[in-house]
Chains A and B, each alone.
Chain A
Amino acid sequence: MGAFAALVLKDLREVLSSRYFLASLVGGFAVLIAMGYAMGAVVKTAQASTQKFAVVVNGTTPLGERYAEILRAMGGDIYRSFSPALLDRYGYVVVIPGNFSLPARLPVYTRYRGLMALAPPNVLQNAAAKLAEEVGVPPRLVEPRLYIYMGRHVLTDRDVGAVFGLFLVSWMFMFIVPLIIASTAAVSIGMEKEKRTFELILSTPVTPTALITAKFLSTLLLALIQFGVMTAGLFIYMANVAAAVAASPPPSGEAFELSLAPSPQLVAAVALSSLALALALLGLAFFAATKADDVKTAQSVVPLVVFPLLIPSFAALFGSVEGWEAYPFVHPLVVAYAVMQGEWGKAYTYLALDWALAAAVALVVARLVTAEYLVLGRVRR
């Protein structure tokens, strides 16, 4: 037991006394807290608008009138007619049909605010339950049918799966590519540090700039190979799943229709945005990795530095990108969103910003990373 405790204690003392490990740990913790605070503020603002809902009622059954009254009591504002402009002020607009009865199919209009916003609000079912209780029938649920405004398009609930697929592609680029790149950079740089080969290479006619550029390129190529293999695997996986789904007939007997399809332009725009951001992150990963002395340390620390920066992509995927558009690491999603709506001016602007960031990072790296920095791990003042 004594020897076992000594072994465990040694590992803890060795790792926890590493300034580099502690800095990355505390840094990651601080970044997460800051991100959480900022995201919380955004979500709070978004919720304030999405929880407000309007009820459109104009000539319906007495049951429909009562249902509208209950919804009004639960916070809904009553209108006589529907207009898309209402969606600027309300998270949802519920239209009470002229032939309302229980159960009822209920058109619900909303604007796209992230995948988690695609579920109909609970208040509709709560109001239906109250109505059923009042009229003395067993609790019956209404069946909301979502119509989701996305720019010029109106998505039906059938399109939601397709949109999810599109955004999943964006998210794969936005989240997985940078992580793969960071991990590959950690191996690539950590290996040189472990073998003490930076000194050997830099004493030859090779310049630090050439070495860094070569490292960037080789890391990028290795990451793209990994990403390509993973993407191919994912497509095969999805194809297998889709084949299984197609083999079983849809319950409603309706054919699946797709009003929005992923275009090559969309994938190219997302890929360009992701590539620029991946290059920027590669610069950060490069700095983090050069502080490690071996591959294992670099592999454990570099993702720790990069991961907190990518966290908002989760929120942006399932929530809303509104309010997050200034944050670079959700830009692939923002660009996808813009391209889907045909807002090419916006897409080009964000692509330009992403590449400007990549260029800025490349300039900083080229300026700071000298032979002395690579050999001694410190910037000469």
Chain B
Amino acid sequence: MIRAAGLVKRFGRVEALRGLSLEVGEGAVAGLVGPNGAGKTTTLRILAGLIKPDGGFAEVLGVRTDSPEFRKVKRWLAYLPEEVLPYDNLTGRAFIEFIHGLYGVDNVGEAVEISGLGPRVDDKVKTYSRGMKRRLVVAALLTVGARVLLLDEPTAGVDVVHAVEIRKLVRERARGAAVLYSSHNMLEVETLCDVVYFVNNGVVIDSGRPGDLTARYGAANLEEAFVKALRQTSAAGGRGAPPP
């Protein structure tokens, strides 16, 4: 359902992606893990059809993201950008109505329910904490009936309690969708994802199930496995790995 094949993207002299490839099937949650500037956000933006690759291609639901036909596919795609926040002067309910209006769906009741905001959903967003704001956006996007979810750092800057709730929402509400989940947090990737892609310098340096990766590198956890993968890649001259 999600496929990136040899993605290349340059911003001036900076090569953000250098042939990144990955695949996520129906009902799978894939983690995209890597340091800042590794190319995670650029990959997600290409998959969401926001920017065009300079090389390679991306497909979502079998349609290339740089083709005119991709417009129709967007109905089934939900992308949560990094650091996106709802508008301060709207109420939580009005924001959900806005997002659902963009998708042409009316599922406000469910979104309100899973947002966990309770009666505060009718308060203005500017009175919410950062965790509440982020959860509101996630709840709005998870209830538009998307078959593909692209989530960029959903829990960044959010306290532990809200982060746990957001992860729980993704796990429970993805409902057979293909999910690509970008994060710095190895613990949440390890517990949430079926498959993990280690990304560095614009390429996938390794990938596999979390348990397989920790075993492959003889690591105690995914974090340690990632660090060892980085060292091995550096020693090998930065070559990436093919998708599993």
Please indicate the chain A residues that have their CB under 8 angstroms from the CB of B228 in the complex.
none
Please indicate the chain B residues that have their CB under 8 angstroms from the CB of A268 in the complex.
none
In the complex, residue of chain B having the shortest beta-carbon distance to the beta carbon of A192: B87
Interface pair A202/B83, CB less than 8 Å apart: no
Pick from A197, A204, A206, A375: contact of B51, CB under 8 Å: A375
- CB of B133 to closest CB in A, whole Å: 10
Interface pair B103/A205, CB less than 8 Å apart: yes
> What mask results when residues 340 to 381 of chain A are scored 1 for a CB within 8 Å of chain B, else 0?
000000000000000000000000000000011001100010
Interface pair B74/A204, CB less than 8 Å apart: yes
| Given known A-B contacts A203-B74, A205-B104, A207-B71, A195 and B52 have beta carbons under 8 A apart | no
Interface pair A197/B87, CB less than 8 Å apart: yes
Query: How many residues on B have C-beta within 8 angstroms of the other chain's C-beta atoms?
Result: 28
- CB of A194 to closest CB in B, whole Å: 8
User: Which residues of A in the span 165-201 have a Cβ within 8 Å of any Cβ on B?
Assistant: 191, 195-197, 199-201
Count: A-B pairs, CB below 8 Å: 62
Please indicate the chain B residues that have their CB under 8 angstroms from the CB of A375 in the complex.
45, 50-51
Question: Is chain A's binding surface mostly helix, strand, loop or mixed?
Answer: helix
In the complex, residue of chain A having the shortest beta-carbon distance to the beta carbon of B12: A378
Interface pair B51/A196, CB less than 8 Å apart: no
Interface pair A204/B86, CB less than 8 Å apart: no
Interface pair B84/A195, CB less than 8 Å apart: yes
User: Which residues of B in the span 57-104 have a Cβ within 8 Å of any Cβ on A?
Assistant: 71-72, 74-75, 77-87, 99, 102-104
Interface pair A372/B102, CB less than 8 Å apart: no
Interface pair B84/A197, CB less than 8 Å apart: yes
Please indicate the chain B residues that have their CB under 8 angstroms from the CB of A196 in the complex.
81-85
Interface pair B84/A200, CB less than 8 Å apart: yes
User: Which residues of A in the span 198-243 have a Cβ within 8 Å of any Cβ on B?
Assistant: 199-207
- CB of A371 to closest CB in B, whole Å: 5
Interface pair B51/A201, CB less than 8 Å apart: no
Interface pair A206/B102, CB less than 8 Å apart: yes
Interface pair A371/B103, CB less than 8 Å apart: no
Q: Which of A199, A372, A376 has the most CB of B within 10 A?
A: A199
28 A-B residue pairs with CB within 8 Å: A195-B84, A195-B85, A195-B86, A196-B82, A196-B83, A196-B84, A197-B87, A199-B45, A199-B50, A199-B79, A200-B79, A200-B81, A200-B99, A200-B137, A202-B48, A203-B77, A203-B78, A203-B79, A204-B102, A205-B75, A205-B102, A205-B103, A205-B104, A206-B102, A371-B51, A372-B51, A375-B50, A375-B51
**Which B residues form the contact surface with A (CB < 8 A)?**
11, 45, 48-52, 71-72, 74-75, 77-87, 99, 102-104, 137, 150
- 9 extra A-B contacts, CB within 8 A, seeds A191-B87, A203-B79, A372-B50: A195-B85, A199-B48, A200-B81, A200-B99, A203-B150, A204-B74, A205-B74, A375-B50, A380-B52
